[in-house]
A and B are shown apart, each in its own frame.
Chain A
Amino acid sequence: MSFEGLPRGSAAKKQSFLERTYFPEIIRGLVVTMRHLVKNILHTSEMPTMQYPEEKRVYGERFRGRHRLMQREDGSPRCVACQMCSTACPADCITIEAAEHPDPEIEKYPASFQIDLLRCVYCGLCEEACPCDAIRMDTGIYEIAADSRSSFVVDKDFLLNNTTEGTL
């Protein structure tokens, strides 16, 4: 659709007499809408509407879905509780409680790691901030529903085992 030829600002085009009688222009408008109607009745399957939930949109690989926490080889979280993500988070939705890690090589680990999915704005800044690639938003999950507000606050265990399967 182009906007060329439309009047700029308030200097509207002067209407001809026929245009000012309304009816010819109304009929032109009716023809436009009828064209859409007939086209859509004859080619219903070509309509852009998606029949969700039977059909689902395929998003790009870089789509930011629900978060997950990465695991080390032994299954413990990669996260070192450095608070970089919760500092970067513009929605302030990440709450981390740090604790001392038994392994002297590793300084800290998250005793609890909570994300409030209702506050999250899915900006991806936590991914960017993380120094050890512990939090990712690559699950592709966008259907997030629950019965209560409290169940949107997800904890460490949930985020560690977060796959594309399963719902909240």
Chain B
Amino acid sequence: MTIVYESLAKIGFMFAVIMGMVVVLIWMERKGAAFIQDRTGPNRASIAGIRLAGLIHPVADVFKLLFKEDVAPANRHRALYNMAPWLVMTVALSTYAVIPFGDFLTVAGRRIPLVVANLDVGMLYILAVASLGTYGIVMAGWAANNKFTFLGGMRATAQMISYEINMGLALLGLMLVFGSLRVTDIAAGQADLIWGFLPKWGVVVQPVGFLLFLTTVYAETNRNPFDLPEGESEIVAGYHLEYSSLKFALFFMAEYAHMVIGAALIATLYFGGYQVPWLPRPALEEHAGLLLTLLLAGTALVSVLISVAFLRRAGRERGKFGDARDREPGMGAGLWLIIALAALAGLLQNPWHIGPSGAEAFASFIQIGAFLAKLVFFAWLFIWVRWTLPRFRYDQLMHVGWKIMLPLGVANLLVTALVMALV
């Protein structure tokens, strides 16, 4: 029975991370895009005058979409039309099963591996499930009975066929290097150092493979510069054109959930997953006291600095709006001050001597934190690239996929195999 509870807890954790990340990513996308384009971005929605720099907007959007009228085309294929958004969302959520978000966590004497399903064919599972996502898009495009959605679905299919091969080739190189199809083995294998100073991350041992994988992940998540299935300048909104209300919200959230998968895959396969560079698990446990003290002191210092910045803003912008929004800087300063005080209180508890079980738990949480930090960075990279690059033209997409990436992938695989055979 315990194992069921453990699994449920892990599933719940991953679900919470994904859904939380979806909200944060929508916020990051809108705010980041605005700042990149010299705008201020969303800053209106508020709860009791507190706007959280626009973080309320995704929540408000979800409520708006939930209560909107569901307008559907009359000549749709009912079953497929209703199934498509759920399929896309389910697929987006199910890839996480094989991604380890930490090494292990000891709870009540039991070592719990921090991965929902430690499949021995994890890599195949990733490839299989990732390609299922296109079915939802094609179904949506077909069932809506609209030429623009249909074109979007067709583009998604063609793109998926072209880039899936390259993704497989890129991952084959990685499998050769780490000698396993198990995702946890690959993540664990990246703890070592090459020549004593370089972390044995996937990106170091497979640089070409990484570039190929990065590009294909962008294509599989239908993100710019590969968002041809949406192509709002050519085919209106592509495959989800005829969807509204909750079903549109599902497509929208699935896009961001796919981004989180993409980021998690890049982080796990090519950037060491939960590994902290130069600090493998034994080192983390050994120096836990020192690291925890440094971490708490750093948190306290940074929080105090942020708090002071908020206080200065409060002084500068006193009475700027003349309503509840004027309280924001003061409340921000208070919040960060509380965080700083909590860190200081932690420092007073003598964190230097946390004992072996404490050190183990500390190492686990640091590794989970490292994984989440990498996840956020690569998710941000998706957004950053979207607001930098224009969309590929269709012929360019096919040219890059078949004439450049495919030969490069094969060459990378051959060279990797040769090196692995010789070394």
Contact = CB atoms under 8 A, between A and B. Distances in A.
Contact of A29 (B40, B211, B321, B388): B388
A61 to B, nearest CB: 28
B interface, over-half SS = loop
Interface string A24-49: 00100110111011001100100111
A54 interface: yes
Interface stretch (B30-38, B262-270, B411-419): B30-38
A36 B36 CA distance: 5
A17 interface: no
A3 interface: no
A40 to B, nearest CB: 4
A33 B32 CA distance: 10
Contact of A37 (B32, B211, B385): B32
B389 interface: yes
Main secondary structure of the interface of A (DSSP, over half): helix
B320 to A, nearest CB: 8
A59 interface: no
Most buried by A among B35, B211, B321, B385: B35
B384 interface: yes
Given A30-B384, A44-B40, A36 B35 contact: yes
B388 A36 contact: no
B40 A33 contact: no
A40 B35 contact: yes
A48 B38 contact: yes
Interface in B370-392: 384-385, 387-389
A34 B384 contact: yes
A35 to B, nearest CB: 9
B40 A26 contact: no
Contacts of A23: 211
A44 B388 CA distance: 21
A60 to B, nearest CB: 24
B39 interface: yes
A49 B34 CA distance: 10
A4 to B, nearest CB: 22
Interface string B33-60: 0011111100000000000000000000
A4 B37 CA distance: 23
A26 B38 contact: no
B388 A33 contact: yes
A37 B36 contact: yes
Contacts of A26: 385, 388-389
A106 to B, nearest CB: 50
Given A23-B211, A26-B389, A33 B38 contact: no
Given A30-B385, A30-B388, A49 B32 contact: no
B39 A33 contact: no
Given A23-B211, A54-B321, A40 B388 contact: no
Contacts of A32: 388
Contacts of B32: 37
A12 B120 CA distance: 51
A54 B43 CA distance: 13
B132 to A, nearest CB: 29
B35 A41 contact: yes
Nearest to A20: B404
B37 A36 contact: yes
A49 B38 CA distance: 8
A138 B37 CA distance: 35
B36 A33 contact: yes
Chain B CB within 10 A, most for which of A34, A36, A37, A47: A37
A49 B384 CA distance: 21
A44 B34 CA distance: 11
B389 A29 contact: yes
A47 B40 contact: yes
Interface of B: 32, 35-40, 211, 321, 384-385, 387-389
Given A30-B384, A54-B321, 5 more contacts: A33-B388, A36-B38, A40-B35, A47-B40, A49-B39
7 tightest Cβ-Cβ pairs between the two chains A and B: A40-B35, A49-B40, A29-B388, A33-B388, A33-B36, A37-B35, A36-B36
7 contacts: A23-B211, A33-B36, A37-B35, A37-B36, A40-B36, A41-B35, A54-B321
